[in-house]
Amino acid sequence: MGRNKFDLIIPVVFKDYGMLSRVLRYVMKYIYPDNIYIITDARYRKYLPKEARRMEVVDENVLLPGLSFSRIRNLLKQSGNMDSRPGWYLQQFIKMGFALSDYSQNQYYLSWDADTIPLRKLDFFVDGKVMFAMKKEFHKPYFDTIKRILDISEFNEKSYIAEHMMFDKQIMADLIGRISSCGVRGEDWIEKIINAVEPGVSNGFSEFETYGNFCLNYYPQSYVERHLNTFRKGGYIAGRFISKQRLEYISFDTDTISLELNDYPDVWTARCFCFLYRKYVEMRYRWISHILPSSI
């Protein structure tokens, strides 16, 4: 049997542009997608590293009709969640909506976090089934929202939230279709999800938790669970300036490492350097945003 072909998507915001070069080098070394799509705000495209510009860059505001930053921001305000992060919701809807877009070329597509580096070869299929990396996490509002948008009674005790997920676009299309026809108020699946979140809850939806538990209930034979050794707080070692040699050493027993911009090492000098780098990224983002036209 030939290998399962898949696309790879990396939704990314400006603050993570500095990570993309390294992430893409390791992705191409250890993961073998047919196509790689960088999904971001097209206004910032010229600030992407050259490695990212060689890939297909997709404007996050035109990926799918009805899906844009401004619309999500307005829907959140209307639903009573004006303090929520529209960009955070937008990235989740991008991961779902890619299944319905014209860019999706294969049955499967892998969503990969822009701050995460694979440290060794990773496979995502076994015996024709997708492998989900399971974690230990529980956030009740996620499940409250799932119950409102889907007819689901069984939930996994483990969490599907990880730094990546392999999606079957046919299953995702079914999931989106069921959400679209649920009884929650809204014109489409995007508005229904937002309206299903309890007012005042800033983080009330998880695309990974929703998709995973949907598969558990309706497509249990489509996947198997697995454990990966992931280092979520890798930034505590050397921020985003960790050396290639250190990554090689860590790869001895670690599959992926994540380097979040807000995670600093304990060493005072390194901590100050990482803090100043974060401030530089934030200041540059504000300056560039000021001179660019408004988003859609």
Burial class of 278 by CB neighbour count within 10 A (0 to 12, 13 to 18, 19+): middle
Residue corresponding to tokens 């505001």: 61
pLDDT averaged per 10 residues in sequence order, the chain, 296 residues = 87 96 97 97 95 93 97 93 86 99 97 98 97 96 97 94 98 99 97 95 94 98 98 90 93 96 78 78 86 73
Within-domain flag for 296: no
Within-domain flag for 218: yes
Within-domain flag for 43: yes
Within-domain flag for 275: yes
Within-domain flag for 137: yes
H or E, element range at 88 = helix 86-97
Within-domain flag for 85: yes
Q: What is the CATH number of the domain that holds 266?
A: 3.90.550
Within-domain flag for 1: no
**Tell me, what's the pLDDT at 269?**
66
Within-domain flag for 209: yes
**Tell me, what's the pLDDT at 6?**
98
Burial class of 124 by CB neighbour count within 10 A (0 to 12, 13 to 18, 19+): buried
**Tell me, what's the pLDDT at 294?**
73
Nearest Cα neighbor of 239 from 217, 264, 216, 262 is 264
Range(s) of the domain holding residue 81? 6-291
**Tell me, what's the pLDDT at 257?**
97
**Tell me, what's the pLDDT at 272?**
80
75 three-class SS: helix
**Tell me, what's the pLDDT at 296?**
59
- pTM for the model stands at 0.91
Beta strands 230-231 and 125-126 are: unpaired
Give the chain's domain count: 1
